[in-house]
Amino acid sequence: MHNAPTGGNAGNDYIDHHKIDPHKPEKPIKISDYRMPGSIGSIIQGFKTVTQRVIRYNDKYHAFEWQRDYHDHIIRNAGEYDRIAAYIRNNRPEWELKHGAMIPPP
């Protein structure tokens, strides 16, 4: 971690481990939610903000919220896309085989 000039941004820095309470285990602490303009994280954050407002505008979905603390994964190549698409295709049948129950269709 580094210091930023007064009034500046030190970037997306983390403290790797920090003891908060001697009776609780160590855990990483995020210093800032600041996202660099134009970064993928900033673009995704903007997309979620706009779509949430549009979806909530419809009275039927006024309580819509994106899943909290969910980490989006950016697909970066065809192999990754194929792996994720196969998971989506196969997830329902595999779940039904494992649990012996049908999932109602969406």
- For the cut 50, the answer to whether the pLDDT of residue 21 exceeds it is no
pLDDT in tens, 33-76: 566 777 877 888 888 889 999 888 877 888 888 877 666 677 88
**Prediction pTM value:** 0.39
The predicted structure's pLDDT at residue 17: 42
Q: Which residue has the tokens 């997306």?
A: 12
In the chain, where the domains are located: 11-73, 75-106
CA distance 78 to 28: 33
CA distance 62 to 54: 10
pLDDT band (50, 70, 90) for residue 18: very low
